[in-house]
Chains A and B, each alone.
Chain A
Amino acid sequence: MSTWLWLIPGSPFVGALTIALLGGRLPAARLPWFACAAAGISALTVAAAWLGGAAQEPLRQTLYIWLAVDGWQPSVGFTLDRLALVMVTVVSGVGFLIHVYSVAFMDKEAEQRRYYFYMNLFLAGMLVLVLADNLLLLYFGWEMVGLCSFALIGFWYRDPVKAAAGRKAFTVTRIGDTALAIAIFLLFVQFGTLSFDVLFPLGEGDWEGATAVALLILVGALGKSAQLPLQVWLPDAMAGPSPVSALIHAATMVTAGVYLIARTHPLFELAPGVQWTVAAIGVLTIVYGASCALAQHDIKRVLAYSTVSQIGYMFLALGCGAYALALFHLATHACFKALLFLSAGTLIHSAGGEHHIGRLGELNAGSRTVQLCFLVGAASLAAVPFFTAGFYSKDAILTAAWVAPVGGLLWLFAALGALLTGVYIFRVYLTVFHRSAEPLLRPRGRLPTPIAVPLLLLAALSLSVGFLEFPEGSGGPHTWSTWLESELDLAKHPEHHTTRVLQALSALMAVAGIALAFPLVRRERAGKSLPWQSFLQTGWRFDALYARLFVQPYHRTASALARWVEQGLIEAGLNGLTRGFWVMAAGLRRGVEFGSVERGLTFLVVGLQRGHAMLSATQNGLLSRYAVSVTTGTLALLGFWLFWPWGG
């Protein structure tokens, strides 16, 4: 099996190359299926790897030595251990499904070749990233996915806003990437190697640089995974086609940061402070994302903020040492968030590109299937207890957070986030799918198969994956963490009864959130015209009160957050940074390039020209002057020799 390992990233890579070089020769109708096949082979190979024993023993393959300098020989080589296997499965599986989905979704687009080229390339990059057996190759994949993300966000490049969004994404993540690169250099300088196998046993010693390196890696992860404070690019990234959002900005690429930290976790354990920071950033992002999601009207932006928030959970888990749980949430999140995006994409598609949830509701764009799928996704996201995957993963993380340092606070925030999650996602669901008015559009007929199949599959997964890991103390099997135990440490858990209370509370939060969504939606639908009293009159006093006391301030806070933090501070900060660069550069150009450098030159040139002019004026044709010059010279030479100290 090891010999075929290269096929996992290789198949989409070859696919991408073929599309780039020979894409023009393929019939346009075949092109999508060709790309799907490339992704499919990759997924099949992963399946074969499962069967071929990758679940037990890591598979390894080294293709060739990439660079060889001074005894250091980073290779192009892959390692498929359990951690990687999880990632690979998610990436290739979801990736394949989204490819299939794209066949129908993108069939009207003009430049499918470019689209599928980047999709395949992205898949290849992502798979390289997770399969890499050394940091350098990981970095290669890391950059490649960033590039594809950039290209696909800006897929509709004619719209300058969208092109700019791509650039923004690339630039912001590149800040993180540079931090990662610096971390890599520091590791290299310290250990002389970048191979995971060699590196991490070494890293478990006592090393002062660990904190710095861990911090830098964290920054890298934050950039890619859109965590505070580098989250700004993700909402804008929704400018890309929906499958892209689903694939890159929900299921796979944004979780690369999580993977990276999981991969390098021994380093973080050497630096507990940084690890706690991971958790802290995680919870802050949870609340931040959720609150922002609350205020959005663009359905994809809601989902984007939701992604930010959900990855926060994974970071929380990483910060608490519950790596397996982080990965678990990653897997479930990949399923339900992809599901949500694809459903949303279908909605938008059938509504002719409408993103506003209110108007989507008015248009009644969704068919039954879509509604169902969206509901499943939303429920899983909101962690509806017992039968959604999201519940199992999120619940476990919340429990694990309790035992971390200052765990109570972490838990509180996380729980708050859980509550809000329910509110915002069901606000969307309700607004879009439950209307009082007559729909403007009749629901379309059956969904095309390439769209329906992935949707249904993902929906099934969103419900079922959770059963791999039952909550602590529930008596169910812990297949997931047990299996990963050999590579990733197990999370600590609080005492038995505390666990129970926490589990109950978190379940309550989820349900409460969903419940809160209803009054919110109703209030919204009424718009401003709906006076607060009517809420009271209809007997939802509690809700009204709740809304007044809780929801509305939150709403306000959220939009204020959105406005001030997002657009104000961070956007302004980023703009300021860009502007700062610009001003600096312009200043340099004025001051140094055209100033000192050019002025120095000009000064020299003018000086020479003055000299020329002055001397030239002496050549005035006057014989006597010439004689004067001769005499002067004679006097000077004689005098120089006669009266100078060194004269004879």
Chain B
Amino acid sequence: MIPLTHSLFVGALLFTLGAAVVLLRRELLFLLMGLEIMFNGAALSAVAAGQHWQGAEGQVLAIFLMAITTAELVVALILVWLAYQRFQAICVDDLVALRDGRSEDSP
């Protein structure tokens, strides 16, 4: 029998690794993969919690999670693709047109 904390910890580690990918990698696709890992860490936690409480809600959560993150991912992917198509943007560094300009002098 796996203690809840252990499985949650695995989920937390996955979540953290996903975050690490988002934070450390620059390629947009990697970022999306990082997000996937984060979501999966969460899903693991959900299922683990469901196991702990012995209810269906954990799994329901995981299923919703899959459906909804997929929807989100798809839209994000198409945007990444658009970015590549229009600007040949692969990395986050290629998308820095929107930013604070240098403040002009004002009273």
Contacts and interface: CB of A to CB of B under 8 A. Distances in A.
A631 B15 CA distance: 12
A616 B100 contact: yes
Given A612-B103, A613-B103, A621 B23 contact: no
A69 interface: no
A621 B103 contact: no
Interface string A593-635: 0000000000000000000110011011111100110010000
A621 B99 contact: yes
Given A612-B103, A631-B19, A621 B26 contact: no
Contacts of B1: none
B90 to A, nearest CB: 12
A628 B96 contact: no
B78 interface: no
Contacts of A619: 99-100
A627 B96 CA distance: 14
Contacts of A624: 22-24, 26, 92
Contacts of A620: 96, 99-100
Interface string B15-58: 00001001110100001000000000000000000000000000
Contacts, number: 31
B2 interface: no
Interface in B89-107: 92-93, 95-100, 103
A296 to B, nearest CB: 61
Contact of A621 (B22, B24, B31, B98): B98
Given A627-B22, A627-B23, A631-B23, A622 B103 contact: no
B93 to A, nearest CB: 7
A138 to B, nearest CB: 54
Contacts of B95: 621, 623
A228 B97 CA distance: 82
A622 B23 contact: no
A613 B100 CA distance: 10
A622 B93 contact: yes
A616 B103 contact: yes
Contacts of A612: 103
Contacts of B22: 624, 627
A621 B19 contact: no
Nearest to B101: A616
A617 B101 CA distance: 9
A145 B15 CA distance: 92
Contacts of A613: 103
The CB with the most chain B CB atoms within 10 A, among A612, A617, A621, is that of A621
A613 B31 CA distance: 29
Contact of B97 (A621, A627, A628, A631): A621
Closest 8 A/B residue pairs (Cβ)? A621-B99, A621-B96, A619-B100, A623-B92, A616-B100, A624-B92, A620-B99, A621-B98
Given A616-B103, A623-B95, A624-B26, 14 more contacts: A612-B103, A616-B100, A620-B96, A620-B99, A620-B100, A621-B96, A621-B98, A622-B92, A622-B96, A623-B92, A624-B92, A627-B23, A631-B19, A631-B23
21 contacts: A613-B103, A617-B100, A619-B99, A620-B96, A621-B95, A621-B96, A621-B97, A621-B99, A622-B96, A623-B31, A623-B92, A623-B95, A624-B23, A624-B24, A624-B26, A624-B92, A627-B22, A627-B23, A628-B23, A631-B19, A631-B23
